[in-house]
């Protein structure tokens, strides 16, 4: 491990900082240049609690950093020469400091340049299949974060209990006592008060949430781009309790598709088209097309009730109620949004609806359908009484404030962080050396029949070496590959396996059409492709 004196931090990659994993960062060393043209402040870490570290190169040969020779008139005395040199070095130093303070790592600009994860990270653990699910063997992982300003002068135990909530307070207390939770790589007492620039590190025994074992099918691939059909339940990139059970990790570990650039994202429970860039140039090009609304998107969903005839257009503004838990609602203070809907079929009392979002706001389709009074049938968030008796129809959230809505969501909702306990917590008396699979099946998925078949709209480049499989998951649980930690509370709990209702939401990204390209997938079973003529749409 690098000495703390030889470490410096950089910004994180994705979304809400509280849900970003430490290794979810992609930065080239040259991006840390102190070129003032970059603008901004590289030292601003207020919204970047998870960091990655690079060796400091400033301890190299000092001869390489000498000032260039200064041409002086021969009439100047040696004393004058020294004074001029000193003044010049002083000015240069001040300029350099100014340049460093002006540097800004623009997340939007760097998104397509990050080179990805190291093989060491991919090798932390491996997969196995069980009950139609993809599971990850538990593994040890170190979370690191620099202290935020609001944490300063607060007790470290209080901060972890309030800010992270990934474990009960007593577990954080045990971690402090055992030296697993450190400050600047040193053990501290639980009443230690956090200081500015403290580096907090917490070694945890990590248990990831199972996802579907349906394969991530390649729709199209060439040297510049990869297009896949993402199954529902798999997040795009590491976040929260998901790391190896994410699209970017699975593609890297099983298809050797590494260093992919994220162009856009889908919600964890949404299935369908997902585009990645293999080159920075192509990624920037496609991202620009999406940002400038040159990409036409078509989604299919299944909603409650009989959706109205004809084309329905919703132009209600959408505001983010809470970035921390990822919840939005229609609000006049929100951002402009536009979505068109058309009923294309019926299934019992539900309707199959074609959705065309003309803007790209967070949860746009789901929120607009909630507002119209036709929420997605199995949407665990926006089809819920937590939004009031009308479930948010017409913007009615039951007369409560947004603050109360957030509080209620945090206390009862588990849409984005599913954890199913088998009845009460089943605590084993002792963790034995010979671990076994402890899952309990509830409505297991049949990956053989549930996996959709992909319709390739373009001929993929079969000559690409990374088309082949790289690492095959275990077909069953292998106790030799698992790890345990006597102080890990999750090792003592039996979890219920998630069922279909926990893994699938009836929303599918069907078609994307941009400038000079078009991709689509076949539709999931719930979309009733056998009874609806999608070709006529």
Per residue in 167-206, pLDDT tens?
788 889 989 999 999 999 999 999 999 999 999 999 999 9
Asked whether residue 461 is assigned to any structural domain, the reply reads no
Asked whether residue 167 is assigned to any structural domain, the reply reads yes
Question: From CA 392, how far away is CA 388, in angstroms rounded?
Answer: 6
The whole-number pLDDT of residue 451 equals: 38
Q: Return the number of other C-beta atoms located less than 10 Å from residue 176's C-beta.
A: 22
Catalytic annotation present for 95: no
The pLDDT tens digits of the residues spanning 118-153 come to 888 888 999 999 999 999 999 999 989 999 999 999
Question: From CA 98, how far away is CA 517, in angstroms rounded?
Answer: 45
Annotated catalytic residue within 21, 198, 267, 379: 267
Residue ending a domain, among 160, 190, 209, is 209
The whole-number pLDDT of residue 471 equals: 67
CATH number at residue 140: 3.10.290.10
Is residue 275 within 8 Å of 493, Cβ to Cβ?
no
Question: From CA 353, how far away is CA 470, in angstroms rounded?
Answer: 38
Q: Are residues 371 and 510 in the same domain?
A: yes
Asked whether residue 186 is assigned to any structural domain, the reply reads yes
Residue 305 confidence (pLDDT) above 80: yes
Q: Are residues 193 and 327 in the same domain?
A: no
Asked whether residue 218 is assigned to any structural domain, the reply reads no
The whole-number pLDDT of residue 533 equals: 84
Asked whether residue 482 is assigned to any structural domain, the reply reads no
Q: Are residues 398 and 513 in the same domain?
A: yes
Percentage of residues of the chain with pLDDT beyond 70: 67
Is residue 502 within 8 Å of 421, Cβ to Cβ?
no
Residue ending a domain, among 173, 191, 209, is 209
Helix or strand or coil: residue 217? strand
Residue 274 confidence (pLDDT) above 50: yes
Q: Are residues 395 and 505 in the same domain?
A: yes
In the chain, the number of structural domains is 2
Q: Are residues 514 and 387 in the same domain?
A: yes
Q: Return the number of other C-beta atoms located less than 10 Å from residue 74's C-beta.
A: 4
Which residues in 274-283 are b (16+ Cβ under 10 Å) and which e?
bbbbbebebb
The whole-number pLDDT of residue 424 equals: 36
Is residue 30 within 8 Å of 103, Cβ to Cβ?
no
The whole-number pLDDT of residue 42 equals: 35
- The pair phi, psi for residue 176, each rounded to 5°, is -65, -45
Residue ending a domain, among 154, 189, 209, is 209
Q: What is the mean pLDDT of residues 103-112?
A: 38
pLDDT averaged over every residue in the chain: 75
Instruction: For residue 157, give its domain range.
Output: 119-209
The whole-number pLDDT of residue 441 equals: 43
Which residue, chain included where needed, has tokens 């989604």? 299
Residue 429 confidence (pLDDT) above 50: no
Question: Long-range contact list for 55-61, CB < 8 A, 24+ apart?
Answer: 55/2, 55/6, 55/7, 56/5, 56/6, 56/7, 56/8, 59/6
Helix or strand or coil: residue 117? coil
Question: From CA 141, how far away is CA 121, in angstroms rounded?
Answer: 10
The whole-number pLDDT of residue 116 equals: 63
The whole-number pLDDT of residue 253 equals: 94
Is residue 25 within 8 Å of 51, Cβ to Cβ?
yes
Which residue, chain included where needed, has tokens 């947004």? 402
22 or 416, greater pLDDT: 416
């Amino acid at each position: 491990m690098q000495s703390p004196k030889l470490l410096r931090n950089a910004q994180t990659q994705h979304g809400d900082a509280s849900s970003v994993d430490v290794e979810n960062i992609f930065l080239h060393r040259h991006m840390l240049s102190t070129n003032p043209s970059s603008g901004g402040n590289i030292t601003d870490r207020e919204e970047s609690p998870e960091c990655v570290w690079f060796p400091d190169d400033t301890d190299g040969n000092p001869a390489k950093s000498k000032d260039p020779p200064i041409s002086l008139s021969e009439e100047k005395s040696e004393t004058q020469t020294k004074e001029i040199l000193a003044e010049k070095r002083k000015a240069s130093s001040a300029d350099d400091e100014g340049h460093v303070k002006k540097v800004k790592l623009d997340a939007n600009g760097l998104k397509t340049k990050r080179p990805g994860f190291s093989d060491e990270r991919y090798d932390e653990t491996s997969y196995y299949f069980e009950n139609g699910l993809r599971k990850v063997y538990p593994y040890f992982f170190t979370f690191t974060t620099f202290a935020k300003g609001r944490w300063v002068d607060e007790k470290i135990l209080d901060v972890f209990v309030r800010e992270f909530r990934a474990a009960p307070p007593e577990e954080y207390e045990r971690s402090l006592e055992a030296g697993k939770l450190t400050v600047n790589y040193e053990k501290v007492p639980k009443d230690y008060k956090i200081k500015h620039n403290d580096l907090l590190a917490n070694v945890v025994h990590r248990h990831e949430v199972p996802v579907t074992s349906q394969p991530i099918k390649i729709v199209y691939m060439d040297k510049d781009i990869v297009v896949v059909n993402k199954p529902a339940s798999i997040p795009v990139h590491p976040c929260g309790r998901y790391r190896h059970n994410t699209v970017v990790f699975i593609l890297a570990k099983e298809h050797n598709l590494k260093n992919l650039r994220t162009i856009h994202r889908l919600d964890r429970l949404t299935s369908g088209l997902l585009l990645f860039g293999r080159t920075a140039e192509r990624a920037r090009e496609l991202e620009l097309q999406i940002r400038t609304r040159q990409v036409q998107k078509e989604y299919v969903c299944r909603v409650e009730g009989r959706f109205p005839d004809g084309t329905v257009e919703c132009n209600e503004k959408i505001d983010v109620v809470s970035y921390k838990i990822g919840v939005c609602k229609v609000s006049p203070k929100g951002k402009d949004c536009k979505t068109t809907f058309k009923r294309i079929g019926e299934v019992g009392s539900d309707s199959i609806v074609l959705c065309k979002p003309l803007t790209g706001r967070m949860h746009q389709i789901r929120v607009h359908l909630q507002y119209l009074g036709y929420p997605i049938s199995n949407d665990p968030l926006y089809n819920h009484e937590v939004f009031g008796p009308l479930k948010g129809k017409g913007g009615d959230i039951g007369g409560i404030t947004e603050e109360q809505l957030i509080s209620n969501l945090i206390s009862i909702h588990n849409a984005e962080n599913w954890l199913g306990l088998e009845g009460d917590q089943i605590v084993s008396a002792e963790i034995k050396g010979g671990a076994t699979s402890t899952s309990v099946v509830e409505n297991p998925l049949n990956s053989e029949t549930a996996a959709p078949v992909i319709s390739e709209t373009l001929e993929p480049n079969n000559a690409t070496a990374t088309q082949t499989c790289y690492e095959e998951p275990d077909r069953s649980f292998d106790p030799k590959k698992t790890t345990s930690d006597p102080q890990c509370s999750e090792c003592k709990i039996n979890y219920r396996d998630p069922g279909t209702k926990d893994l699938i939401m009836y929303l599918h990204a069907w078609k994307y059409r941009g400038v000079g390209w078009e991709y689509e997938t076949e539709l999931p079973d719930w979309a009733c492709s056998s009874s609806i003529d999608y070709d006529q749409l």
